[in-house]
Amino acid sequence: MKKDSSGAATGNPSALIDARINELNDWRGQKLAEIRAIIHEADPEVIEEWKWRGVPVWSHNGIICTGETYKAVVKMTFAKGAALEDPSGLFNASLEGNTRRAIDVHEDDKIDAKALKALVRSAITLNSKK
């Protein structure tokens, strides 16, 4: 990964996300890749960004969600998650906030692709209403 003088990664956001997935080289990289694929299936026009010195971000008329990786979870944080209907109960983290909601994905978790696609599409619809 190329870095600038401050140590921040530089380059094409999609390539940086590819590099992050490859450098993780464990279940977190696999889950991040799976999440990314589901987002692209939900919205083929999604824009990939690289923000805050190393966080994958997916946008369409505004931020949909981020894909942060931690030791024990891959966290999808939806920028306007508190305003989204979540009939499948995917949100399991950051539930107390007024704006964001998150999904913590653990190593043995199975991702409900259908429900996640619906949530991504709802976030896009909400972003389009601004």
Give 10-34 pLDDT, tens digit per residue. 679 999 999 999 999 999 999 999 9
Instruction: Output phi, psi for 9, to 5 deg.
Output: -70, 145
Residue 41 is assigned to a structural domain of this protein = yes
* Number of separate domains in the chain: 1
Residue 32 is assigned to a structural domain of this protein = yes
pLDDT per residue as tens digits for the range 75-101: 999 999 999 999 999 999 999 889 999
Per-residue confidence at 53, pLDDT binned at 50, 70, 90?
confident
* CB proximity list for 122: less than 8 A, separation 6 or greater: 84, 85
Structural domain for 49, as ranges: 13-128
The pLDDT of residue 6: 40
Residue type, 106: H
Residue 56 is assigned to a structural domain of this protein = yes
| Pairwise pLDDT comparison (29 vs 5), residue with the higher score | 29
Residue 2 is assigned to a structural domain of this protein = no
Share of the chain above pLDDT 90, in %: 86
Instruction: Give me the CATH number covering residue 56.
Output: 3.90.1150.200
What are the b/e assignments for 31-64, b being 16+ CB within 10 Å? bbbbbbebbeebbeebebbbeeeebbbbbbeebb
* CB proximity list for 69: less than 8 A, separation 6 or greater: 20, 24, 28, 29, 32, 75
Residue 122 has pLDDT above 90, yes or no: yes
Per-residue confidence at 48, pLDDT binned at 50, 70, 90?
very high
Per-residue pLDDT, averaged over 56-66, amounts to 97
Residue 4 is assigned to a structural domain of this protein = no
The pLDDT of residue 97: 85
Predicted TM-score of the model (pTM):
0.89
Residue 22 is assigned to a structural domain of this protein = yes
Mean pLDDT of the chain: 92
